[in-house]
Structure 1
């Protein structure tokens, strides 16, 4: 164990006395749905009634930016400066949740009432993200109470719009670089590789969503009288998609792919086995690029998925050739994939193959980013977690999903370490979202170990420290 016994005793007492359950229960009760006007009112209350007191208890000065620049996102910064000669960490969390989906939870549970069932604590936000940022706040508070100091400078950023795409987060970070300057970024969101595997991930894949439309005529025409004379938009669209990705999931257009899997990424993924837990579908081993391992497919490469495809009414078909067809495709891509001009590249590809009647429109975009697994901060965090838990953590170059990692890596220039306190089966974004108390307990230990070691960095490992405390 890499922190004092008194800290460990405080951690265990916090969980065993029910204080963790009580604190999380209070947070879950705030209906902080960023997609609703009522939720935005609750978000403001959560910031002022919960998070500002949490940060103040850490000796932080707080600055609240409500509806920054008239937009849909609010931000809260907490800052504790101990010395110009110690490292500075930037932590992050999001106060908002997805819609509660009231009435859809098992056994009549309310998404806004924390309910325990064995190792599972059910409630909206338990995994995403209230439970996770609570663990980090508690670890910081207990360290401060037992040691009297942190040994590093702390900056904590909360936003209120992660679940709606983090609007204005990039612009806010750009406008407040001095306030957010740090040496390293440490945050908790997303899932571990598996429930029993402490995990560090270093970024996230990005995503581009395209709509493909084939509008050939205003109405439908009898398939017997007109079949063979009129182009079928459904057939056309299916064939056009087949020039982008084949029937085995292999991407055919080079513009949709990165140049390679970097050697440091390949090394980091070399021993990772994608876990299979009860309820998970079986992996189709012959799907997508079979020259890659499953881990490389998920974390080191791109995938083009057909999210929706329609022509006519499949539930009530009639004997008629439809006039139009539409598909929605999404490219999940890793860092290093050129994305400028990708919409034009897809359109030019379809035009060249005789599918000029298929029109391409990019609808959403979120960038990819990741820290190089060879960065010294990764080794530092791995050693800390191993020292605390006795388990060698899994290092993922990035998760398969998305987080606003690029804001912290690309805009603020920080090495980014994500240490999740959840697991793939947590059902975030769905009814029955839950936290595992076993992971929460271990997460408190991991967070305390990391922050304790950060306060003793100079004695442990030489790291690049470039922040100012302005």
Structure 2
């Protein structure tokens, strides 16, 4: 079978409804991982759904308990044709965020695949069941087209706790480093930059969550009797936040920023346009760091967001000065940020501005990574994608969102390539999450072509790309 025949066959698989059948079965598994528990469905999704699919492709499969009791199990599947051959590691996650059933539009359910034109609704369709179904389906067809011999080894790592912050993943990868040894990392998660063109990104921004709390007293006091002589913790906290980020979203704490946007990154983003999709929100003029394009703000700079703000009872306010106030915040950061010292940076800033009473509690964190744009895998992968899709692909130096890519890039030392099959308005993590059928169909062609091309020894940069040149923070 030729490469062209492979792509036609995998698209016929999609057109005939088999892809939808597989995805519907996977969406029906209620694999919520962000509820504070580890439900049994996280284990049975792997043992009853994924293991049989991979056994059919001659993978050796192990479902292994998470070293962190807060995390779901992991599937480690290996297909070794010859230990002397190079190895590809691919990754995905079968867990999803909570269903939020009451918020879905009438006629839709998070646990049933519903097709309405190009939109395929269901929890996990975009994040990440639809995407790992694209990858594994394309792999199966590439194997068939190559007569059962890819010409390289492949390892599949599927976790069941990504939506809970990937607890235990770093330790698991350390414990199983030998089994996860590879020459290249290829995975699918996150969105394309837009619907129209396939995207390749080389890493991700990091994310660091923290909470700021002002505890003024142990109970609320009547605002008529005590207003004017008792400090209001909500007022104090509002001013503390205003000292950190201004009314236009610009970060005011130098220690929370990178030094600059590198020239190579600017050049890579010069033709990238943000927010052009029909369902994309309207960008806010003048928001964020001045002097940067929207693409540079998203991909090459840091943002400080207030995710939630609380004091008193917003649903039923009373005439009382609240006893405390809290703000849950998030720093999204790029390579070059001193994120390991954020707590000390915040403490120093708040104290210097007279907010010694503001308490800081640090939360989830993952590092920022970016494969060097000159790595030989970059141009090779773009060429493969463009050949399969029949159009040019967008190169993003890193995703604006965050993924546990630092584990694969830093801990395992791999060059990392991410090819997403979703789009920015997919409503992941929200009601009415959906996958676009047209994007999934094109994704099948892109991934099948990539798996085919990796088996062609001519021009594949195994040796040149084996050295990871990822820049991390």
TM-based fold match above 0.5: yes
Equivalent residue, structure 1, for 2:470: none
Equivalent residue, structure 2, for 1:308: 308
3-state SS of the aligned residue for 1:237? helix
Equivalent residue, structure 2, for 1:353: 353
TM-aligned CA deviation for residue 319 of structure 1: 4.2
Equivalent residue, structure 1, for 2:333: 333
Equivalent residue, structure 1, for 2:31: 32
TM-aligned CA deviation for residue 64 of structure 1: 1.9
3-state SS of the aligned residue for 1:180? coil
Equivalent residue, structure 1, for 2:377: 377
Q: Does the alignment pair 1:133 with 2:127?
A: no
Q: Does the alignment pair 1:444 with 2:452?
A: no
**Are the equivalent residues in 1 in contact too, given 2:375–2:465 (CA < 8 A)?**
no
Identify the range of structure 1 (345-354 vs 357-366) with the bigger mean alpha-carbon deviation.
Answer: 357-366
3-state SS of the aligned residue for 2:445? helix
3-state SS of the aligned residue for 1:79? strand
Q: What are the ranges of 5 or more consecutive residues in structure 2 without an aligned counterpart?
A: 468-473
Equivalent residue, structure 1, for 2:471: none
3-state SS of the aligned residue for 2:337? coil
For 2:244 and 2:326, locate their aligned partners in 1 and report how far apart those are by CA, in whole Å.
15
Q: Against the structure 1 CA distance between its residues 210 and 8, is the aligned structure 2 distance closer, same or farther, given a 3 Å change threshold?
A: closer
3-state SS of the aligned residue for 1:414? coil
Q: Against the structure 1 CA distance between its residues 96 and 304, is the aligned structure 2 distance closer, same or farther, given a 3 Å change threshold?
A: same
Cα shift readout 1:150-187 (whole Å, capped 9, x = no counterpart):
12111111111111111100001111111111111000
TM-aligned CA deviation for residue 448 of structure 1: 0.9
Equivalent residue, structure 2, for 1:243: 243
Taking only aligned residues, the RMSD between alpha carbons, in angstroms, comes to 2.2
Q: Against the structure 1 CA distance between its residues 4 and 317, is the aligned structure 2 distance closer, same or farther, given a 3 Å change threshold?
A: closer
For 1:364 and 1:67, locate their aligned partners in 2 and report how far apart those are by CA, in whole Å.
18
Q: Against the structure 1 CA distance between its residues 311 and 25, is the aligned structure 2 distance closer, same or farther, given a 3 Å change threshold?
A: closer
Q: Against the structure 1 CA distance between its residues 49 and 345, is the aligned structure 2 distance closer, same or farther, given a 3 Å change threshold?
A: same
**Are the equivalent residues in 2 in contact too, given 1:264–1:372 (CA < 8 A)?**
no
Identify the range of structure 1 (20-29 vs 180-189) with the bigger mean alpha-carbon deviation.
Answer: 20-29
For 2:250 and 2:61, locate their aligned partners in 1 and report how far apart those are by CA, in whole Å.
49
Q: What TM-score, normalized to structure 2? A: 0.92
**Are the equivalent residues in 2 in contact too, given 1:370–1:405 (CA < 8 A)?**
no
Equivalent residue, structure 1, for 2:430: 430
For 2:25 and 2:227, locate their aligned partners in 1 and report how far apart those are by CA, in whole Å.
63
Equivalent residue, structure 2, for 1:398: 398
Q: Against the structure 1 CA distance between its residues 15 and 320, is the aligned structure 2 distance closer, same or farther, given a 3 Å change threshold?
A: closer
3-state SS of the aligned residue for 2:464? coil
Equivalent residue, structure 1, for 2:19: 20
3-state SS of the aligned residue for 2:154? strand
Where do residues 93-172 of structure 1 align in structure 2 (5 Å cutoff)? 93-148=92-147, 149-172=149-172
TM-aligned CA deviation for residue 14 of structure 1: 0.8
For 2:128 and 2:457, locate their aligned partners in 1 and report how far apart those are by CA, in whole Å.
28
